[in-house]
Amino acid sequence: MEAPLRVLLVDDHAMVRSGFAMVLSVEDDVEVVGEAADGLQALEAARATRPDVVLMDVQMPRMDGIEATRHLVAEDLGHVVIVTTFDRDDYLFDALRAGASGFLLKNAGPEQLLDAVRAAGRGHALLAPEVTRRVIGRMTGEHAPAARPEPAGLTRLTAREREVLVMLGRGRSNGEIAAELVLGEATVKTHVSNVLAKLHLRDRVQAVVWAYEAGLILPTEE
């Protein structure tokens, strides 16, 4: 039997941490190993407990979730999933740049919470399409990116791989990409792996960031 996924909960609201802990603690394959009320506590707790997954709030005192994520990723202290309400979290794209593995909405149901923890614990990026669109729309809404020269990395991709990259940038799942391009999911998985390897990207979340910064994803897209 595999060891349970070790989870660290980081939020400045004790009720939020308690709610997540109640959901996670009843699962045999998940273990809550610690809690923290801000980024500095998160770093201390992560160094002490070595979690597999860190559920990270964004807006917290002393050190916010973005800066904490940057440190956690640099020290390889677990996969970070940003937990947000979208009320004032204007810096979520910065969190992706800092190395977060995905997003979870605070109003997510128990099954979504568990799916997020398990996906991140297995090393999979977690970006729901509606979250991807919301983040990119938030970050590009006021100022559309200026015309840019084609990034050098694109020349390493085949035409099909470039199509897959654009769809990754839009938050499409492997199944959605397969349906749109009329391909098998195994083939899509191979294309995704090739894109990540050729562009030296860690995961699908980094692919979203790369596609946006390369100008492949426009603010007018749905």
Domain count, the chain: 2
CATH code of the domain containing 69: 3.40.50.2300
Answer with the one of 110, 126, 142 that is the final residue of a domain: 126
Beta bridge partners of 80: 54
Q: What are phi and psi of 139, to 5 degrees?
A: -80, -20
CATH code of the domain containing 186: 1.10.10.10
Cβ pair 80, 100 in contact under 8 A: yes
176 and 117 within one domain: no
Answer with the one of 91, 126, 161 that is the final residue of a domain: 126
**Residue 195 in domain:** yes
Q: What is the dihedral of CA 52, 55, 60, 63, to 10 degrees?
A: 20
90 and 21 within one domain: yes
What is d(CA 204, CA 159) in angstroms, rounded to the nearest whole number?
Answer: 18
**Residue 131 in domain:** no
**Residue 132 in domain:** no
SS3 state at 30: strand
Q: Which domain holds residue 73?
A: 5-126
Sequential pLDDT tens for the chain (222 residues): 678 999 999 999 999 999 999 999 999 999 999 999 999 999 999 999 999 999 999 889 999 999 999 999 999 999 999 888 765 556 667 777 788 888 887 888 888 888 888 888 877 666 655 566 666 666 555 444 455 556 767 889 999 999 999 988 877 778 889 999 999 999 999 999 999 999 988 777 778 778 877 888 765 444
117 and 14 within one domain: yes
Answer with the one of 126, 160, 187 that is the final residue of a domain: 126
164 and 101 within one domain: no
What is d(CA 36, CA 20) in angstroms, rounded to the nearest whole number?
Answer: 13
